[in-house]
């Protein structure tokens, strides 16, 4: 297995000169980067053959899938793109492993999925219902719900969201257990738009897992984010979320994912960002274990028109410690360094 490290935590878009030392240890290849910071990317190659390519952009917008673009949706309205996006031939062409008729999973697979515990916040308070439960169930296969994904792995399940045709963003603890004694997750499978007993967009296995040293070496919740590179391009059917920096207090916060108390169902709650710190966003959305990795998103308006579904944070934690951590559920803000890593992972080959 290989480990590759793109950019460090530079607040510019220029690439940092790198001095690397490669070591072989216990059959694994690690690359160490000079001046590495907690946002330095690390990864594990699950196929032994992935090639890495980095590219940086000034923005990363959404795609609604099945022929619609973010700009199209902004001009003509979301109702123009409310179709299911279900095309079996297209999904097969994109390398998706399909389930049974109408997407129904078989009994053995369903039993396995139900047996997986919903992963909660590590070494912190549980994700919680804050007062009356404000969550509502989603049954739709329209965008952007279909771009939210159930993530499964040996020993648990989480949530993630498509950010490219073959890339899923999620919490760091959904791809690596964290800290120097931690390990990468194994047997990772992603089900976009999963709903109860149905996998309308099939499933894809993971090719590469990504996180950053602030999580994999230090278990620092401020750096609890990561991504999954898939062995398929299902995002061409589901579409994907945009993501952006700069979201502050009072920014709308919609949180969509797979709570453990509602087995394998997609649920959503709406609030606003109540407070921010340098690297985290805090909100009153109701969450339960299993929703780690959910997008904290908004229908972002810019230039007096909707730009589509943009994530501004990645949910990861419930209440713990002192204020504001003790008051709100919270997640990793998409600040400049996080943004650059997400773009790099999205564009990796």
Residues labelled as active-site residues: 173, 292
Percent composition of the chain: helix, strand, coil (DSSP 3-state, to 5): 15, 35, 50
Kindly state the DSSP code that residue 344 receives in the 8-state scheme: H
Q: Which two tokens stand for residue 250?
A: 């009072």
Nearest-angstrom CA–CA distance, 311 and 61: 10
Dihedrals phi, psi of 114, to nearest 5 degrees: -70, -25
Within 8 A by CB and 6+ apart from 276, the residues are 247, 248, 249, 282, 333
Within 8 A by CB and 6+ apart from 299, the residues are 252, 306, 308, 309, 310
Within 8 A by CB and 6+ apart from 67, the residues are none
Nearest-angstrom CA–CA distance, 159 and 191: 10
Task: Say if CB 29 and CB 1 are below 8 A apart.
Answer: yes
DSSP string covering 93-151: HTT-B--SGGGBPPHHHHHHHHHSPBP--TTSPPP---SS---EE----STTGGGEEEE
> Which residues does residue 71 pair with via DSSP β-bridges, in sequence order?
none
Q: What angle do CA 282, 284, 286 make, to 5 degrees?
A: 120
Closest CA to 3 of 36, 12, 145: 36
Within 8 A by CB and 6+ apart from 87, the residues are 66, 237
Three-state SS for 269-296 is EEEEEEEECCCEEEECCCCCCCCCCCEE
């Amino acid at each position: 297995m290989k480990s590759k490290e793109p950019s460090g935590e530079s607040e510019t878009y220029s690439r940092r000169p790198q001095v690397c030392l490669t070591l072989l240890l216990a059959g694994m290849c690690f690359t160490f980067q000079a001046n590495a910071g907690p946002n330095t990317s690390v990864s594990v190659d699950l196929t032994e053959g992935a090639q890495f390519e980095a590219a940086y952009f000034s923005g990363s917008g959404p795609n609604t899938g099945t022929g619609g673009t973010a700009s199209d949706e902004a001009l003509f309205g979301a109702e123009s793109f409310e179709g299911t996006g279900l095309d079996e031939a297209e999904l097969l062409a994109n390398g998706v492993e399909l389930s049974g008729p109408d997407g129904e999973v078989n009994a053995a697979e369903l039993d396995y999925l139900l047996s997986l515990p919903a992963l909660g916040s590590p070494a912190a308070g549980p994700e919680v219902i804050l007062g009356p439960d404000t969550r509502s169930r989603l049954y739709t296969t329209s965008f952007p719900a279909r771009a939210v994904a159930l993530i499964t792995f040996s020993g648990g399940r989480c949530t993630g969201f498509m950010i490219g045709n073959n890339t899923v963003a999620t919490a760091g603890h959904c791809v690596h257990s964290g800290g120097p004694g931690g390990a990468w997750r194994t047997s990772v499978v992603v089900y976009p738009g999963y709903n109860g007993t149905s996998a309308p967009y099939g499933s894809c296995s993971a090719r590469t897992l990504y996180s950053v040293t602030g999580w994999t070496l230090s278990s620092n919740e401020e750096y609890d984010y990561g991504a999954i590179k898939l062995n398929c391009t299902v995002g061409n059917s589901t579409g994907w979320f945009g993501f952006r920096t700069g979201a502050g207090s009072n920014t709308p916060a919609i949180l969509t994912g797979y709570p453990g108390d509602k087995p394998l169902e997609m649920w959503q709650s709406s609030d606003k960002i109540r407070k921010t710190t340098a690297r985290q966003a805090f909100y009153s959305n109701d969450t339960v274990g299993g929703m780690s990795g959910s997008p904290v998103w908004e229908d972002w308006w810019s230039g007096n028109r909707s730009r589509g579904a943009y994530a501004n944070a990645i949910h990861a934690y419930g209440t713990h410690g002192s204020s504001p951590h003790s008051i709100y559920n919270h997640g990793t803000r998409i600040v400049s360094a996080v943004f650059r890593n997400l773009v790099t992972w999205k564009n990796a080959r």
